[in-house]
């Protein structure tokens, strides 16, 4: 019986992944292929001066943990300087398709899982350190992470959670006291940056790529064992694994992936590197790297310079890419079912229908509209909105938030062309040229008419929309400003941002600056407009 809350260093960990799956018997912590195993046991490498920079009180409370002091035993655990006796740290073996090409073995090159602990509701959560030193999967890299990318992962995974998007979580951000050399844009400008470690938390970090590597090596017993482990622990409602259950499980993975991507499209999140090793088997957003948030609504946008030749992972491509990734997962699972085509293909159709329905339901909620029995006219309305927002170069987050406030006016005036509408368009558009505003103006007129068919009171519609349209998202330039200040030793910006991102649908009068449209100087700023995989 656990007594909550307790200090991390007194928590008892369990290690189901390590105990129920096959571990590499070699203790050699050098880059190598690890055929035949699911993971490699590996110890984190200590850092010079671990100190706490950020902590998620809300996640900690759920996990029954007390906030630790800046330095001490808990922070040493969160930096990998100390390993509790009940922990059995490991790095998982996985492969993946990177930018559409099979890349062979990748694996946890800088992530080390410590073990699982029980939350206050009895569920079990795995703790994983990102940047805790080399593993057999580090290939030519150092196993470390810089403060810049660690702040981005900490803030964004917590922000996504509070927006209601399925995601891995972040418990802590720890500075290492060490420097790590990175060439941020792979252009010969390597420089030392402060090092950091995020402790991320999820029920499991298993990815599509964990299955793919096993098929690639024809390790079919290992493939089945991993599938059984995942079903037993994370999809127990499906029952005892059998060919029929594997098919149902795949359908559920498709369904969850569809919901996750629908959320991304709804909040304007661009993952940036949707390689199959970055796709969670639980349908969680995972591996926050060169991600970005839409400012002007632009389906072709990605911040990831590594993707500038094909734009494979641009915002508007994400639903299609997730489907492609699911097809690769289906391929990996074929040995588990009797008739791959009949057993797995319908789930891919499920993905498409679930995505379309979820996306539309989320959009209607943002627009304060009740789904109609025959939804067809509303599909036309929402389709037209995407095009109008793009043409008007409208800030997506600001548009929906301002629109929520405008609803009572639209209903009273019963027109979408009054001065308040003009003002809204001018405020949310990044392009002052009136000509590009036309389609959005027309759309608002159609919307005002459609809104008139709603029976709820204007105030109720407005309140519903304010609960669906966040005021605060992790704007790219705000993250970058917080990073630059933190690198100079000032955590104020990071703390202010984190504060609003925890309640993004609320008004925070003292934090209006964090809800502002992207200033022009940030339009092309490296680190906010552009990023790479170097982290
Ligand atoms: P990502 O692009 O972050 O998904 O990483 C792709 C692969 O490279 C994964 O196997 C990572 O573990 C590995 N990797 C990325 N950065 C590092 C690093 N600094 N040290 C070791 N491995 C890394
Ligand atoms: Mg990754």
Mean pLDDT on 235-253? 98
> What is the pLDDT at residue 1?
55
pLDDT digits (tens, 9 = 90+) for 420-471: 999 999 999 999 998 999 999 999 999 999 999 999 999 999 999 999 999 9
pLDDT digits (tens, 9 = 90+) for 143-163: 999 999 999 999 999 999 999
Question: Considering every ligand atom, which ligand is closest to the CA of 207?
Answer: 2
Task: Take atom 15 of ligand 1 and give the residue whose Cα is closest.
Answer: 109
- Choice among 296-305, 366-375, 411-420 with the minimum mean pLDDT: 411-420
Tokens encoding 188: 């010969």
Q: Extract long-range pairs of 39-43: CB within 8 Å, 24+ residues apart.
A: 39/90, 39/91, 39/92, 39/93, 40/90, 40/91, 40/93, 40/107, 40/135, 40/136, 40/137, 41/88, 41/89, 41/90, 42/89, 42/90, 42/91, 42/112, 42/135, 42/136, 43/80, 43/83, 43/89
Q: How many CB atoms lie within 10 A of CB 403?
A: 21
Q: Is the CB of 110 under 6 A from ligand 1?
A: yes
| Integer CA distances (angstroms), 469 to 126, 137, 145, in order | 31, 41, 33
Could you tell me the pLDDT band of residue 377, with boundaries at 50, 70 and 90?
confident
Which atom of ligand 1 is closest in space to residue 533's alpha carbon?
2
Hey, which of 141, 182, 312, 532 would you mutate to test ligand 1's pocket, going by the most ligand atoms within 8 Å of its Cβ? 141
At 533 the three-state DSSP class reads: coil
pLDDT digits (tens, 9 = 90+) for 83-138: 999 999 999 999 999 999 999 999 999 999 999 999 999 999 999 999 999 999 99
Could you tell me the pLDDT band of residue 374, with boundaries at 50, 70 and 90?
confident
CA dihedral 526, 529, 530, 534 (to 10 degrees): 80
Task: Take atom 18 of ligand 1 and give the residue whose Cα is closest.
Answer: 143
Q: Is the CB of 31 under 6 A from ligand 1?
A: no
- Whether residue 129 contacts residue 114, with contact meaning beta carbons closer than 8 Å, is answered with yes
What DSSP element (H or E) covers 282? Answer: none
DSSP state of 67: P
- Whether residue 75 contacts residue 98, with contact meaning beta carbons closer than 8 Å, is answered with no
Could you tell me the pLDDT band of residue 534, with boundaries at 50, 70 and 90?
confident
CA 305 / ligand 1 centre spacing (Å): 17
Could you tell me the pLDDT band of residue 37, with boundaries at 50, 70 and 90?
very high
Question: Considering every ligand atom, which ligand is closest to the CA of 532?
Answer: 1
Hey, which of 93, 130, 139, 213 would you mutate to test ligand 1's pocket, going by the most ligand atoms within 8 Å of its Cβ? 139
Instruction: Specify the length of the chain in residues.
Output: 535
Residue 248 in this model has a pLDDT that exceeds 90: yes
At 217 the three-state DSSP class reads: coil
CA 535 / ligand 1 centre spacing (Å): 9
Query: Is 143 annotated in some ligand binding site?
Result: yes
Residue 472 in this model has a pLDDT that exceeds 60: yes
Q: What are phi and psi of 138, to 5 degrees?
A: -75, -10
CA 167 / ligand 2 centre spacing (Å): 14
- Choice among 312-326, 341-355, 409-423 with the minimum mean pLDDT: 409-423
The mean pLDDT value of the chain amounts to 96
Query: Is 107 annotated in some ligand binding site?
Result: yes
Could you list which residues have their CB under 5 Å from ion ligand 2? 278, 287
Query: Is 142 annotated in some ligand binding site?
Result: yes
- Whether residue 360 contacts residue 381, with contact meaning beta carbons closer than 8 Å, is answered with no
Hey, which of 109, 146, 176, 271 would you mutate to test ligand 1's pocket, going by the most ligand atoms within 8 Å of its Cβ? 109
- Whether residue 425 contacts residue 433, with contact meaning beta carbons closer than 8 Å, is answered with no
Mean pLDDT on 345-366? 97
For the chain, percent of residues with pLDDT exceeding 90: 94
* Full-model pTM: 0.97
Distance CA 268, CA 316 (A): 10
Could you tell me the pLDDT band of residue 529, with boundaries at 50, 70 and 90?
confident
Q: Is the CB of 273 under 6 A from ligand 1?
A: yes
> What is the pLDDT at residue 373?
84
> What is the pLDDT at residue 258?
99
Mean pLDDT on 411-418? 82
Could you tell me the pLDDT band of residue 232, with boundaries at 50, 70 and 90?
very high
| Integer CA distances (angstroms), 246 to 235, 277, 325, 350, in order | 11, 20, 18, 15
Could you tell me the pLDDT band of residue 415, with boundaries at 50, 70 and 90?
confident
Angle at 490 between CA 157 and CA 75, to 5 degrees: 60
Tokens encoding 396: 């997506």
Q: Is the CB of 108 under 6 A from ligand 1?
A: yes
Task: Give the 3-state DSSP-derived string for 412-460, with helices as H, strands as E and coil as C.
Answer: HHCCCCCHHHHHHHHHHECCCCHHHHHHHHHHHHHHHHHHCCCCCCHHH
Q: Is the CB of 307 under 6 A from ligand 1?
A: no
pLDDT digits (tens, 9 = 90+) for 268-301: 999 999 999 999 999 999 999 999 999 999 999 9
Query: Is 169 annotated in some ligand binding site?
Result: no
CA 287 / ligand 2 centre spacing (Å): 5
Which atom of ligand 1 is closest in space to residue 143's alpha carbon?
20
Q: Is the CB of 130 under 6 A from ligand 1?
A: no
Query: Is 289 annotated in some ligand binding site?
Result: no
Chain center to CA of 21: 27
Q: Whose structure tokens read 């499906």? A: 238
Task: Take atom 14 of ligand 1 and give the residue whose Cα is closest.
Answer: 109
Could you tell me the pLDDT band of residue 2, with boundaries at 50, 70 and 90?
low
Distance CA 12, CA 15 (A): 10
> What is the pLDDT at residue 150?
98
Task: Give the 3-state DSSP-derived string for 112-175, with helices as H, strands as E and coil as C.
Answer: EEEEEEECCCCCEEEEEEECCCCCCCCCCCCCCCEHHHHHHHHHHHHHHHHHCCCECEEEEEEE
pLDDT digits (tens, 9 = 90+) for 39-91: 999 999 999 999 999 999 999 999 999 999 999 999 999 999 999 999 999 99
Could you tell me the pLDDT band of residue 418, with boundaries at 50, 70 and 90?
confident
CA 109 / ligand 2 centre spacing (Å): 9
CA 143 / ligand 1 centre spacing (Å): 8
Q: Is the CB of 133 under 6 A from ligand 1?
A: no
- Whether residue 509 contacts residue 181, with contact meaning beta carbons closer than 8 Å, is answered with no
- Write out the catalytic residue numbers: 277
Task: Report domain extents, the chain.
Answer: 8-204, 209-290+310-365, 369-466
Distance CA 295, CA 515 (A): 12
Cis check: omega of the bond before 5, within 30 degrees of 0: yes
- Choice among 6-10, 18-22, 524-528 with the minimum mean pLDDT: 524-528
Distance CA 220, CA 125 (A): 27
Q: Is the CB of 143 under 6 A from ligand 1?
A: yes
Question: Considering every ligand atom, which ligand is closest to the CA of 107?
Answer: 1
Query: Is 67 annotated in some ligand binding site?
Result: no
Q: Is the CB of 193 under 6 A from ligand 1?
A: no
Start-end of H helices in 5-146: 16-20, 57-63, 73-79
CA 33 / ligand 1 centre spacing (Å): 15
pLDDT digits (tens, 9 = 90+) for 171-208: 999 999 999 999 988 999 999 999 999 999 999 999 99
CA 86 / ligand 2 centre spacing (Å): 27
């Amino acid at each position: 019986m656990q007594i909550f809350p307790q200090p991390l260093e007194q928590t008892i960990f369990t290690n189901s992944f390590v105990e129920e799956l096959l571990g590499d018997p070699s203790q050699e912590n050098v880059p190598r292929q690890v055929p035949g195993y699911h993971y490699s046991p590996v110890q984190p490498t200590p850092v010079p001066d671990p100190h706490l920079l950020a902590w998620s009180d809300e996640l900690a409370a759920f996990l029954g943990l007390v906030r630790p002091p800046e330095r001490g035993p808990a922070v040493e655990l969160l930096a990998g300087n100390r390993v509790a006796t009940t922990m059995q740290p490991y790095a998982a073996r996985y492969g993946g398709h990177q930018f559409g090409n099979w890349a062979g073995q990748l694996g946890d090159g800088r992530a080390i899982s410590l073990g699982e602990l029980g939350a206050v509701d009895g569920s079990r959560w795995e703790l994983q350190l990102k940047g805790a030193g080399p593993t057999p999967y580090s290939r030519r890299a150092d196993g470390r992470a810089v403060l810049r990318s660690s702040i981005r992962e900490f803030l964004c995974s917590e922000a996504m959670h509070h927006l209601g998007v399925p995601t891995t979580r972040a418990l802590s951000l720890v500075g290492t006291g060490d420097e790590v050399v990175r060439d941020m844009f792979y252009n010969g400008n390597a420089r030392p940056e402060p090092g950091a470690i995020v402790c991320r938390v999820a029920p499991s970090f298993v990815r599509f790529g964990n299955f793919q590597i096993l098929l690639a090596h024809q390790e079919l017993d290992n493939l089945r064992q991993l599938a059984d482990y995942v079903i037993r622990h994370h999809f127990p409602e499906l029952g005892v694994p059998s060919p029929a259950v594997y098919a149902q499980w795949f359908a559920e993975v498709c369904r969850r992936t569809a919901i996750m991507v629908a959320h991304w499209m709804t909040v304007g999140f661009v993952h940036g590197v949707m390689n199959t090793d970055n796709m969670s088997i639980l349908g969680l957003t995972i591996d926050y790297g060169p991600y970005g948030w839409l400012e002007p609504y632009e389906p072709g946008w990605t911040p990831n310079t590594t993707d500038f030749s094909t734009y494979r992972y641009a915002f508007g491509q994400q639903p299609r890419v997730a489907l492609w990734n699911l097809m690769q997962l289906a391929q990996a699972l074929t040995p588990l079912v009797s008739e791959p085509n009949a057993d797995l293909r319908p789930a891919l159709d499920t993905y498409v229908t679930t995505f379309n329905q979820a996306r539309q339901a989320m959009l209607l909620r943002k627009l304060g509209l009740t789904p109609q029995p025959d939804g067809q006219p509303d599909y036309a309305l929402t389709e037209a909105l995407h095009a109008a927002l793009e043409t008007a170069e409208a800030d997506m987050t600001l548009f929906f938030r301002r629109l929520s406030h405008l609803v009572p006016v639209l209903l009273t005036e019963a027109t979408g062309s009054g001065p308040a509408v003009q003002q809204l368009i001018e405020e949310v558009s990044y392009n002052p040229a009136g000509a590009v505003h036309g389609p959005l103006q027309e759309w608002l007129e159609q919307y005002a008419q459609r809104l008139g068919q709603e029976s709820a009171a204007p105030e109720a519609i407005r309140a519903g929309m304010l609960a669906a349209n966040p005021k605060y998202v992790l704007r790219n330039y705000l993250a970058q400003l917080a990073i630059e200040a933190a690198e100079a030793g000032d955590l104020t910006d990071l703390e202010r941002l984190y504060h609003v991102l925890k309640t993004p649908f609320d008004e925070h009068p003292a934090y209006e600056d964090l809800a502002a449209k992207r200033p022009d100087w940030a339009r092309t700023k490296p680190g906010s407009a552009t990023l790479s995989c170097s982290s």
